[in-house]
Amino acid sequence: MRDPPRFKNVLLDLSGTLHVGDKVVSGAISAVSLLKRCGCKVLFLTNTSKTSRARLLAQLRKIGFDEECIVEQDIMTSVIAARNFLMDRNLKAYCLTEEAVMEDLTEVDGGDMSDSSRGAVLVGLAPTALRYDRMNAAFRVLVDEKVESELVAIHTSKYFRDGDGMLSLGPGPFVKALEDASGKEAHVVGKPSPTFFEAALSELGCSAGDCVMIGDDIVGDVGGANAVGISTVLVRTGKFLPKDEDNKEIKATCVMDSIVEAVDWIVGEEYDTENEETILKEMDGGEGGNEAPMSPREEKMVKEIQALRSQLKEMGGEPRELFPAEEKVGGEGESGDSKDEKDEGTGTGDKEEGGVTEATEAMEATEEASKGPETHQDEPKSKV
């Protein structure tokens, strides 16, 4: 009988934690499956504001996350949080957002705001909308003396790592510009806003003490979750930098190399990514498990057969026909042939890599703010 998981409810960041651009973090798909098979409720939290939830899910499907891993209603985006924020206050918004995200904002889209008596300006990452004429129109909504308008930011990341590997401007500086010009302070609805995490707890129907957040962002994921009493795991993937572990103000409950170790800690399972299929079979009560080692007699037989096979090859014979039983006894000994087959894409890792080549460029530009230039997955493991 396995022990119950350390936490029954898990909040998972997407970009940088489950995938980096269009590359799946090694073992991430199996790790999410393991959480669910252990009975954990999982909610995915993302600050992505350049694409709708449905389109984000489609991109995740392309890189290998199937419906057993992630379904649409389990993804909580900051765009959906913004929509809920505006609907709760009966506000229509002038939206400085990408067209691709508008399908999540139909209920709150105020168009050009010419007919609204009370409204808001909503700002997300919007490379095609954050230009002077649109910014100026937003400014005029905010300072119009005939209406009472509020400034709402989907999030305020200053920059993010773009699909070309370079840093690009996030929505934060544009929000600052509108705050400065209008004199109005923005409501921030995405991570690390406490309301975002409180909404997540409400969605899961649990208390903060029975929930853990796993993410790569020391501020957005760890700081935000800490603020409402949720335990946290900072992973050394995505935007993580070694200096994040020395942050004086924000401390994660644990710092671990990746989502795989974090899940291992939560479910209390020795979790070896190279042997994950075996572990999953064992959890099902199946036939999994390491094969028993060969006895000395079996080892001797294999060596003798291999020697005979070599001799027959030199003589031009056909060893497979003479020793059909060899296929079963010594199959692992001939790693050269089987490796060639694996290299065609039969392994789990190959499958993930094959999937990512088809991913869209939009996936690379998932825009959670990057705090630095590089991923560090080789740091020694430690817990704090």
CA 57 to chain centre: 11
SS3 152: strand
**Pick from 13, 150, 244, 276: which binds Mg ion (CB under 5 A)?**
13
Parallel/antiparallel/unpaired status of strands 159-161 and 167-169: antiparallel
Site pattern 339..368 for Mg ion (x: CB under 5 A): -----------------------------x
Nearer to Mg ion, 216 or 352 (CB): 216
Q: Can you tell me the distance from the alpha carbon of 86 to that of 63, in angstroms, rounded to the nearest whole number?
A: 33
Q: Name the segment binding Mg ion (CB under 5 A); options: 13-21, 178-186, 226-234, 337-345.
A: 13-21
Q: What is the DSSP string of 77-136?
A: EHHHHHHHHHHHTT-EEEEES-GGGGGG-GGGB-TTSTT-SEEEEEE---TTT-SHHHHH
In the complex, residue closest to Mg ion by CB = 16
Q: Which of residues 16-75 bind Mg ion (CB under 5 A)?
A: 16
CB of 46: closest distance to Mg ion in angstroms? 8
Alpha-carbon dihedral sign for residues 214, 220, 224, 226: positive
Helix (H) or strand (E) holding 153: strand 148-153
Shortest distance, CB of residue 342 to Mg ion, whole angstroms?
Answer: 31
Cβ atoms within 10 Å, residue 73: 10
Judged by CB under 5 A, the stretch of 107-115, 214-222, 250-258, 330-338 that binds Mg ion is 214-222
Those residues whose C-beta lies under 8 Å from the C-beta of residue 127, and which sit 6 or more positions away, are 50, 98, 168
Please say which residue, 150 or 261, places its beta carbon nearer to Mg ion. 261
- Which residue lies nearer to Mg ion by CB, 21 or 110? 21
Residues facing 234 on adjacent strands:
215, 255
CB of 14 to Mg ion, least distance (A): 7
| Number of residues engaging Mg ion in binding (CB under 5 A) | 6
37/280 Cα distance (integer angstroms) = 9
Task: Assess 224 for contact with Mg ion (CB under 5 A).
Answer: no
- Of 35 and 138, the one with the shorter C-beta distance to Mg ion is 35
**Smallest distance from the beta carbon of 84 to Mg ion, in angstroms?**
21
Would you say 130 or 369 has its CB closer to Mg ion? 369
**One residue of 9, 15, 182, 366 binding Mg ion per CB under 5 A:** 15
By CB under 5 A, is residue 216 in contact with Mg ion?
yes
Write out the residues near Mg ion by the rule CB under 5 A: 13, 15-16, 216-217, 368
